[in-house]
């Protein structure tokens, strides 16, 4: 059986604040919404992908005031390095949002929280694979070329450091031999 990722459903307290953040700041669109059952709360479906009805859904039933603690974070990939910088800049003026750039060698990421404290990661793939877990804070002000040079200098000494395509070719061979 091969499972592929589809979506996550989040319990939220403040529907308006959360929808504003996920639509205006992160660029999701509401694809559907409606009540769960005859008297249930509305479930709101969101997606950026035209091939996915929803990547996220929100149920405005959360009662607690504390940050969520059952999921560490949700991660999203971007295809352009410039998108990381643009998102970082868009997050800066929002009260209560803490942003931390982190690289794992195989990605350049920014970690941040949404308005209700849920953890998020947006990352851009580097051309390399590096065994995990590990991470180093990186300078979001670097250009793409400078950031890639920094990744290579920072993680290139690792025994597992290799071209991403080589790592995934090996993984495909291993999976096909099962």
Query: How far apart, in Å, are the Cα atoms of 98 and each of 101, 114, 167?
Result: 10, 9, 33
Query: How far apart, in Å, are the Cα atoms of 108 and each of 37, 95, 99, 121?
Result: 42, 24, 13, 10
The 3-state DSSP class for residue 72 equals coil
Tell how strand 42-47 and strand 56-59 pair up: antiparallel
pLDDT(3) > 60 = no
b/e burial code for range 81-95 (CB count within 10 A of at least 16 → b): beebbebbeebeeee
- Tokens representing 115 are 């308005």
Distance CA 162, CA 127 (A): 9
| 60-94 residue pLDDT tens | 888 887 777 667 889 999 999 999 999 999 999 99
CATH number assigned to the domain covering 1-62: 3.10.180.10
Mean pLDDT, range 26-38, rounded to an integer? 91
Distance CA 169, CA 172 (A): 5
Task: Locate the domains of the chain by residue range.
Answer: 1-62, 71-178
Q: So what's the architecture of 71-178 in CATH?
A: 2-Layer Sandwich (3.30)
pLDDT(10) > 60 = yes
Nearest Cα to 84, choosing from 96, 105, 104, 101? Answer: 101
- Tokens representing 161 are 């450091």
- Tokens representing 49 are 């992908």
Ranking 1-5, 24-28, 38-42, 120-124 by mean pLDDT, the lowest is: 1-5
What is the pLDDT at residue 152? 97
Mean pLDDT, range 40-61, rounded to an integer? 91
Rg of the chain over all Cα atoms, to the nearest angstrom? 19
pLDDT(1) > 60 = no
The yes-or-no answer to whether 1-62 and 71-178 have a common fold is: no
| 119-174 residue pLDDT tens | 999 999 999 999 998 999 999 999 999 999 999 999 999 999 999 999 999 989 98
What is the pLDDT at residue 154? 98
The predicted model scores a pTM of 0.86
* pLDDT bracket for residue 2 (50, 70, 90): low
């Amino acid at each position: 059986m091969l499972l592929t990722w589809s979506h996550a459903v989040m319990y939220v307290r403040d529907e308006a604040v959360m929808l504003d953040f996920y639509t205006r700041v992160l660029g999701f669109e509401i694809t559907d919404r409606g009540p769960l059952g005859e008297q249930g709360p509305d479930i709101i479906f969101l997606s950026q992908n035209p091939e996915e009805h929803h990547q996220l859904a929100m149920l405005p039933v959360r009662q607690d005031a504390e940050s969520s603690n059952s999921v560490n974070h949700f991660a999203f990939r971007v295809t352009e390095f410039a998108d990381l910088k643009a998102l970082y800049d868009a997050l800066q003026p929002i009260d209560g949002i803490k942003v931390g750039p982190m690289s794992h060698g195989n990605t350049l990421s920014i970690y941040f929280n949404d308005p209700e404290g849920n953890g998020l990661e947006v990352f851009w793939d580097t051309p390399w694979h590096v065994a995990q877990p590990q991470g180093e804070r990186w300078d979001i002000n670097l250009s793409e070329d400078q950031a890639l040079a920094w990744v290579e200098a920072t993680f290139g000494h690792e025994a597992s450091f290799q071209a991403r395509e080589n790592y995934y070719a090996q993984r495909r061979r291993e999976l096909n031999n099962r």
